[in-house]
Homo-oligomer: A and B are copies of this chain.
Amino acid sequence: MPVTDRTRVTRLADRQVVDRQVLHDVLDAGLVAHVAVVRDGVPIVLPVGYARDGESVLLHGSTGGGLLRAAASGVPVAVTVTLLDGLVYARSLFDSSMNYRSVMVLGTAVAVPDALKEEALRRLSEHLMPGRWDEVRPPTRRELAATVVLRVPLDEVSVKVRATGASTEPDDGEDRAVWAGVVPLTLATLEPVASADAPRGVPVPASVAAAASRFEALRPELHA
């Protein structure tokens, strides 16, 4: 995975990852990207639901949204996905940290053409709510027209990972009797809440039942 001047990590360079599988894994584990564009010289950054599709990310939203409309015009975009994996309690505040996996994609977005939009939305749906596509009716023509899907290629990317315990500075006066370690963090599901208008006796579908175990499977290993 090539590192450019724009994607080179200058601070804590050992956290930079150039393994394409890690890039894919991080993108496949997240749900929301923070997408930035420049408008009138000022950056704006907002959360957008996304999915990885091969060697690109798909972003989707309403045709009425300002951010994606700006992104669709071919201006440079940054797409960042961050997974927060833990709070690192070192014996000093200076060495305290967070464990995380983060990907930043730089580039320009292109609109997915109408003929391919349903396929792209299916890919988004299968990422965000696996199995749901086949449980509900297909999108209507009107719904497709009201939805914008953008594709940003994974050409220029930066991947950073911190997945270790608390670092120790042997000569820096830390008190060994102070506990040090990691509090792992994870996204978790709570019990599903059925809509008030759901008819009695409609069971929770497979897609919803699967959501909880999905996040469990995505928890990273803590490295020594």
Interface residues of A (CB under 8 A from B): 6, 10-12, 31-32, 34-39, 41-47, 49, 61-62, 64-66, 76-78, 80, 82, 84, 87, 89-94, 96, 98, 100, 102, 104, 106, 121, 125, 128-129, 132-133, 135-137, 139-140, 143, 146-147, 165-166, 168, 172-199, 202-205, 207-208, 211-212, 219, 222, 224
Once the chains are docked, how many angstroms separate the CA of A50 from the CA of B26? 22
Complex: how many Å from CA A47 to CA B132?
31
- Whether the Cβ atoms of A183 and B208 lie closer than 8 Å is yes
- Is B190 a contact of A31 with CB atoms below 8 Å? no
Please state if A31 and B89 are interface contacts (CB–CB under 8 Å): no
Going nearest first, the 5 A-B pairs with the smallest beta carbon separation are A34-B34, A36-B43, A188-B188, A94-B143, A184-B190
Report the nearest B residue to A98, measured CB to CB: B49
In the complex, the answer to whether A87 meets B128 with C-beta atoms within 8 Å is yes
Count of identical protomers in the assembly: 2
A189 CB, min distance to chain B CBs, angstroms: 5
A129 touches B36 (CB 8 A): no
CA distance A128 to B99 in the complex (A): 13
The listed residue (B37, B47, B183, B187) touching A185 by CB distance below 8 A is B187
* A193:B222 contact, CB within 8 angstroms: yes
Find out whether the CB atom of B139 lies under 8 angstroms from the CB atom of A41: no
Bound CA span A174–B39, Å: 39
> A32-B84, A208-B183 in contact; A165/B195 too (CB < 8 A)?
yes
